[in-house]
Structure 1
Amino acid sequence: MNQNKKYLGYLALVCAAIFLSHLDVIYVNIMEARNFITAREMLQNGNWIHTTMNLEPRYEKPPLPTWLTAVSASVFGLDSLFGLRLPAVLSVICIIFTSFYLGLKFLKTSKQAFYSALILASSFYIIFSGRNGQWDIFAHAFMLLAIYQLVLVFQSDKNLLKNWILAGVFLGLSFMSKGPVSHFALLLPFLIAYGIVYRYPGFAKKWRGWVSLLIFFIVIGFSWGLYIYLTDGSSADAIADKETAAWADRNVRPFYYYWSFFTQSGIWTFFAFIAILFPYMRTRVTDKRAYTFFFLWTAIAVVLLSLIPEKKSRYLLPVLIPLAFTTSFYIEFLVVKGKKIIKLDRWLANFGFGLIGLIGIAFPIAGYVYFKDQLSGFYLPFILVSISLFALGIYIFNTLIKQQYEKAFYSMVLFLSAIMLFGFPMAQLFYDNDQFNNISKVRKNPAHEKLPFYYMGEIAPELIWELGEPAKKIETIDQLSQNGTYGVFVNDSLAEVFAQNYAVKSKTKFDINYVNKNKKGYKERLTTNFLVIEHN
């Protein structure tokens, strides 16, 4: 077995530990709920093209991630969070493996490509996004595949038509995942950085390839949107106007909001910060050209994202891809130089690795003190993660004494893997809402089996997902004018209005917050009143 196959095998094991373990532990968030509801309505109502959420047109995002989610759900079932999240997991694993092959095209050694892939796999926001059924990870996975194909044609003197076509296909699939988001945040910074560092030799001679790429990109990327406008233009226009208005006012942040972007790499934050200190790193890297390219790719991506008024932490996801490569140059420097590094670098390495080692050593005691009254039912994961982190903490300090920085690096990856594999179930220790009452119970009540469901005002997508079926929206209370019994979901103030106009047979408060009211993560929108009303 050659070395690259060994690296791929190790990557597979790391990805399995980090991304495939305990996928059903974390509750469904708002982005997932929208995707999952749409997938459910695809399977139950056949709404594969004219996508819906709660039976209303859902054209805000292209449907490819939802199609993939629906296919997975058809295999594993709509009740399986593992099955619903699996397509996103496969997308992030695709990103990890593609990054390794991309590294082979730029870096001097396959070992450094391996380092960068491991850094990417164990970066905080990559893990968060890859374990959630959101749209972003799909778009960036297809885009990185497209970028890899572009690198193949850029680095070849031949006109590789097959690779041009594949690049166009993946660009189209990325657009079908989340519109032009990844084209702006991942592709454009790559093209600018590549042009600055490597230029585009023979660009004019490859015009047939560019034409092929554009044709496949346009046909695949715009086909669904064009069809929707031709068949349901009024709904598409209304949604587009709503999204445009919201985009201008929603989550507007200052230009410098993303300047702490390197913290999204989690356990690699310190090393990532050192790696983006360009003057410092330029004197230490052996391949200055490659380092400059990945540094520029990272920096340009941050600048471009900073120009957009609407800013969210998850928009930094594509930045972590070139940042992982950039960070790998510092790791490679420490490994190659070893005991020959100067005192400053040794101090920095000891601090970066030692901080994680210290956390590992302290965890068993600190964790027990913090969770001691809540550990019932969680002793096994606590013991396993405590032993793992403590042993790795001791080992990290041992490697630092011997200045074996490669072993310290691998220990960091194992540290994160141990947390995900053994400790992740302990996330449920934070679920402390004693008022939790899942809306999924409604239909299970025999008295509610045949009730039509309605809602007035707003209802969170998470509530509709947990409900398990659509609820029809009403704008005014007099829309329930026919004689009969109805089930209506409303907030507290509207509940009083209904009580004044209808005979309320029963009222139930549902709360799907997993944390209690006193915590920051509690959201009032995840509560609703269920009224059974009778109209004669």
Structure 2
Amino acid sequence: MLSSNKKDIFILLILSIFAFLSIIWINEVDIMEARNFITAREMLQNSDWWTTTLNGQFRFEKPPFPTWLTAFTMMITNSKLEFILRIPNMLVSVFTILFLYKTMFRIKKDRLFAFLSSFVLLTTFMFIKIGAENTWDIYTYAFAFCASLSLYIYMQENLKKDLFLIIIFLILSFLSKGPVGFYAIFIPFIIAYIFNNPKEKWKRKIKFIFLAVIVAFAISSIWAISMYLNHNDYFLKVMKKESSTWSTKHSHSIFFYLDYFVYMGTWIFFSVFAFLKVPKNKEDKIFYIWNIISLIFISIIQMKKKRYGLPIYLISSLNIAQLCVYYFRTPYEYLSKIEKFLLRFQQYFIMFVIFLSLGFLTYFGYIKKEISFILFLLYIFIHIVFLILINIKYTKNNYAKRIILFSGLTMLVLNFSSSWILENNFMKDKMLKFRVPISQEVVVSNYPIYSNSFDIEEVWRLGKNIKELVNIPIEKNIFYLGDKEPQILMNDYRIIKIYKYQKINHKFTNLYYLERK
């Protein structure tokens, strides 16, 4: 028989895999994913895993660890299917959930708190979304989060293995997106811990932590130093451009991330309540302070994107779990009126969401017939079961438990049943839902492709590099990607064939097959 802890881990593992597999195949490739996929493909084509390139040009904007994992997946699966190449991100996300459980159990010695922390995280909308995309963000933030949890354990138990884990996780975080995760998660944790604990608890260990950070930074810098030594001017140019980007692009106000409550998904109202309710226990305050400091840190940076807010979703899972544990263990009659109201409101909110989803599925699944009738019946059955279970007779002792568990499970059901329909109807161009396949004549040819204007995603879709048309090519046969005939080439080339090509954004353009006269 499995032990209680192993049962928890098994349940979390199954739920995590279900959460990510429900949507990993749905999203179309965006610019960030395309860059990672292309760089991984060129690693294999060039047999060079150290000097990263994008469309044949040096690519030093991001460290290579996520691309290494993508290239390794591409190599062992012999596949370039996008959902296959997203598996490394999914595995890192699942690892984070399980590591959170293990560390919280060691820190709190509380199995319930450990389980609920991981359960809340794996059912958070933004975490599921980012974990199913092949971008750099999940790596740098997840590893920095794991490094912070390892640091907490080291502060408690003073074991060398935890210091070693801090170094490993920080190396992986640095190698994923530089110091971004270190700044947004690890430093706020150190500040929160020092603020919340007396000097004698951390004074003698701070030098070892500082040494661990130095070692991690030094090891993770080997790649960057190597690129600098071999490509000095180009590397410095890229670094200058990157530093400028963080202060000039995607600039938003300091309040940009305050809508993170919405992106908590079905935990929206619990997250608001946990944010407003300061824990009374000094030991419990550390997670609350950590969350506040992290929010401040990422808010004062001018460059902001929704996925850069991932640190607050990771840390918020701990604050919400504290609230959930309180509800689990406090008799209903001892709850305050506002606490009882939150449970009742959450129940009606979940029911409203399920009814909304039922209407959505009925319209697009049954009336518009966008999914098979069998699949439609399965989704409807699951929704009805949820409605029954959340409303059948309950006792005051298990009411809070049921509401909390169904808050998370409802998010998973919505992802499972509605994500594809949402993507198909609201995320894609409605006029051009289905892509026109690329002609096999283009795919199998070795002729170079030129263009005056193209998106990097097209390099991924076409499966080969695209050269910028600056001078007249020297090749006998070429392709030209563009809306109109390339007049600059007409004196030297003649058009043999024109292929219709549908771009990543679903708009049509032409792919001209040209032969030198």
TM norm. shorter chain > 0.5: yes
Which one of the candidate residues 413, 419, 439 is aligned to 1:418?
Answer: 413
Moved more, 104-113 or 248-257: 104-113
1:132 aligns with 2:144: no
Which one of the candidate residues 396, 405, 408 is aligned to 2:400?
Answer: 405
1:33 aligns with 2:30: no
Structure 2 contact 194–202 (Cα < 8 Å) conserved: no
**Structure 2 counterpart of 1:358:** 352
Partner SS for 2:464: coil
* CA distance, structure 1, for counterparts of residue 442 and residue 58 of structure 2: 31
Which one of the candidate residues 296, 303, 321 is aligned to 1:303?
Answer: 296
Q: 1:188-233 CA distances to partner (integer Å, 9 max, x unpaired)?
A: 1111111111245354433663364145313321010000001112
1:319 aligns with 2:312: yes
Q: 1:449 to 1:191 in 2, by over 3 A?
A: same
| Superposed displacement of residue 52, structure 1 | 0.7
**Structure 1 counterpart of 2:90:** 89
* CA distance, structure 2, for counterparts of residue 253 and residue 399 of structure 1: 48
Structure 1 contact 358–393 (Cα < 8 Å) conserved: no
Partner SS for 2:135: coil
1:292 aligns with 2:285: yes
Structure 2 contact 9–98 (Cα < 8 Å) conserved: yes
Q: 1:66 to 1:381 in 2, by over 3 A?
A: same
Partner SS for 1:530: strand
* CA distance, structure 2, for counterparts of residue 481 and residue 471 of structure 1: 13
* CA distance, structure 2, for counterparts of residue 400 and residue 55 of structure 1: 63
* CA distance, structure 2, for counterparts of residue 256 and residue 130 of structure 1: 24
Structure 2 contact 174–217 (Cα < 8 Å) conserved: no
Q: 1:329 to 1:59 in 2, by over 3 A?
A: same
Partner SS for 1:155: helix
1:227 aligns with 2:223: no
Structure 1 contact 363–386 (Cα < 8 Å) conserved: no
**Structure 2 counterpart of 1:269:** 268
| Superposed displacement of residue 352, structure 1 | 1.6
Structure 1 contact 439–467 (Cα < 8 Å) conserved: no
Q: 1:480 to 1:313 in 2, by over 3 A?
A: same
Structure 1 contact 24–81 (Cα < 8 Å) conserved: yes
1:484 aligns with 2:476: yes
- Output aligned runs, 1:22-101, within 5 Å: 23-101=24-102
**Structure 2 counterpart of 1:382:** 376
* CA distance, structure 1, for counterparts of residue 232 and residue 503 of structure 2: 36
* RMSD, aligned CA: 2.7
* CA distance, structure 2, for counterparts of residue 233 and residue 447 of structure 1: 36
**Structure 2 counterpart of 1:520:** none
**How many percent identity over aligned positions?**
26
**Structure 2 counterpart of 1:331:** 324
Moved more, 384-393 or 170-179: 384-393
Structure 1 unaligned spans of 5+: 514-522
Moved more, 238-247 or 11-20: 238-247
- Output aligned runs, 1:235-250, within 5 Å: 235-250=234-249
Partner SS for 2:450: strand
Structure 1 contact 77–83 (Cα < 8 Å) conserved: no
Partner SS for 2:330: helix
| Superposed displacement of residue 409, structure 1 | 1.6
* CA distance, structure 1, for counterparts of residue 442 and residue 452 of structure 2: 24
- Output aligned runs, 1:362-511, within 5 Å: 362-398=356-392, 402=396, 404-427=399-422, 429-430=424-425, 433-435=430-432, 438=435, 441-442=438-439, 444-445=440-441, 449-457=445-453, 459-474=454-469, 476=470, 479-482=471-474, 484-490=476-482, 492=483, 503-511=494-502
**Structure 2 counterpart of 1:516:** none
- Equivalent pairs counted in the alignment come to 512
Structure 2 contact 267–408 (Cα < 8 Å) conserved: no
| Superposed displacement of residue 234, structure 1 | 2.2
Moved more, 333-342 or 7-16: 333-342
Q: 1:347-389 CA distances to partner (integer Å, 9 max, x unpaired)?
A: 2211123211232244334421355443254333322222112
* CA distance, structure 2, for counterparts of residue 433 and residue 498 of structure 1: 35
Structure 2 unaligned spans of 5+: none
Q: 1:379 to 1:429 in 2, by over 3 A?
A: farther
Partner SS for 1:201: helix
Q: 1:531 to 1:277 in 2, by over 3 A?
A: same
Q: 1:483 to 1:11 in 2, by over 3 A?
A: closer
**Structure 1 counterpart of 2:16:** 15
TM-score in terms of structure 2 length: 0.90
Q: 1:399 to 1:250 in 2, by over 3 A?
A: farther
* CA distance, structure 2, for counterparts of residue 54 and residue 349 of structure 1: 53
**Structure 2 counterpart of 1:189:** 188
* CA distance, structure 1, for counterparts of residue 478 and residue 206 of structure 2: 64
Q: 1:296 to 1:288 in 2, by over 3 A?
A: same
* CA distance, structure 2, for counterparts of residue 399 and residue 501 of structure 1: 81
1:148 aligns with 2:143: no
Amino acid at match of 1:290: E
